[in-house]
Structure 1
Amino acid sequence: MRADAQKNYNHLLAVARDVVTEHGADAPMREIARRAGVGLATLLRHFPTREALFEALLCTNMDALTQKADELETSTSADEALLSWFRELVAFAQSYRGVVAMMAAAHTNPDSALYASCAAVHSAGARLLLRAQGEGTARADMNGDDLFALTTALGWAVDQPSFAPRADHLVHLITSAILTNRSSNDARKAT
């Protein structure tokens, strides 16, 4: 991509990030174009669908979550790694209202622009869970699909205004149910 085209693309993404943070997954494409100072056709030329725009926005975050899981696998105990990654994923879900529904739908749809990123996040979580299970610190009766489902369910809950103030408590409840070797106080301190 030419330098000027890359600059325009980055500008559109920066503006889109702000608008999506304000309005959530239903952010109007026209509002993004207006704030970016371009016509809707220009925005649609770069991002022909809302999902394509979200894929571009979310790919960076999901890649960072996958990278974080890789780092945690080698630098932290298995249960601490799982806790830390779980909290990061929930924080990510909170950063863009409505993203959890998009992730949940893309998770099983190979035709989705978000599929590859969701699959990488799912796989990273499953690896962290397997490691914790191998050390006997996580429930043996769950798998990566269960972890992804719990994460998206929690992400949906904390996306709701009535539950958002209880996000830390809800994370604590879920992680306490996943991890087997922590007292209630230990899990609360770690989250």
Structure 2
Amino acid sequence: MAARRADARRNYARILAAAVEEVALHGADASLEQIARTAEVGSATVRRHFPSRPALLEAVFHERIETLDVRARELLDTSDARAALLEWLTDLTVYAASARGLAAALTGGAADVHHAAHDNACTKRLAQAGGPLLARAAEENAVAPGVSIGDLLTLVAGIALATEHHPGPVGEAQRLLGLAVQGLSPRGPGTARGAGNHDGARAWEQAE
């Protein structure tokens, strides 16, 4: 029994390593059969560990999602709620634009993030991370009324998908996010300009 569990752990690690490599090359449409061949296991073994493509993508991007979760908690301690939310959104946009397949992991194959959130661990985790930042910004009237965390995740996923084949996807994604923020979070009187040296914050300020 112990040997069987050890074999399962090794198989899981090999499959995940192969999946990271394939998703980096081919995005969310990476071949499960190629992943199995690279990991030197059968397709049935891949499906046993990862019963669906979204489950595989969630595992591939676990560390990135964890980093964004930690960053959100750090930003809750900053004094400028608007800058904190926008900095986190920029971090998310950069991650989504630079990591092929992450935007698809956010949507989970659903038409939009609102529907995907019911059964998508990536989206649930990010919604839980970004929700408090949005709530704090809303309390300070730093975002337009009615904006939800689902709206923000849908926006970022859409931008990342739209720029996936752009020669400079990260820069273009940040530019598009800056344009969206003009309507999403109009600057109110007395709101501090800028957010340190953060590239995304500078892009928003330039867009405004």
Place the TM-score, normalised by the shorter chain, in its bin: 0.7 to 0.9
Structure 1: state its 5+ residue gaps.
Answer: none
CA–CA distance in 2 between the matches of 1:3 and 1:151? 39
Aligned counterpart in structure 2 of residue 37 of structure 1, from 1, 21, 40: 40
Deviations 1:67-123 (A, max 9, x none): 3212211245212211221112112222443442442226425763xx233123123
Q: Under a length normalisation based on structure 2, what TM-score does the superposition of the two structures give? A: 0.73
Aligned identity (percent) is 35
Number of residue equivalences: 188
Structure 2: state its 5+ residue gaps.
Answer: 195-199
1:66 Cα deviation (Å)? Answer: 2.3
Q: 2:166: which partner in 1?
A: 161
1:28 Cα deviation (Å)? Answer: 0.5
Q: 1:176: which partner in 2?
A: 182
CA–CA distance in 1 between the matches of 2:125 and 2:41? 33
Specify whether residues 120 and 46 from structure 1 end up closer, same or farther in structure 2 by C-alpha distance, changes over 3 A only. Answer: closer
Aligned counterpart in structure 1 of residue 135 of structure 2, from 130, 133, 136: 130
1:13 Cα deviation (Å)? Answer: 1.0
1:40 Cα deviation (Å)? Answer: 2.5
CA–CA distance in 2 between the matches of 1:58 and 1:126? 20
Where in structure 2 are the equivalents of 1:30-179 lying within 5 Å? 30-75=33-78, 77-104=80-107, 105=110, 107-109=114-116, 112=119, 115-161=120-166, 164=169, 166-179=172-185
CA contact under 8 A between 1:66 and 1:120: conserved in structure 2? yes
C-alpha RMSD of the superposition: 3.0
Higher helix share: 1
1:34 Cα deviation (Å)? Answer: 1.7
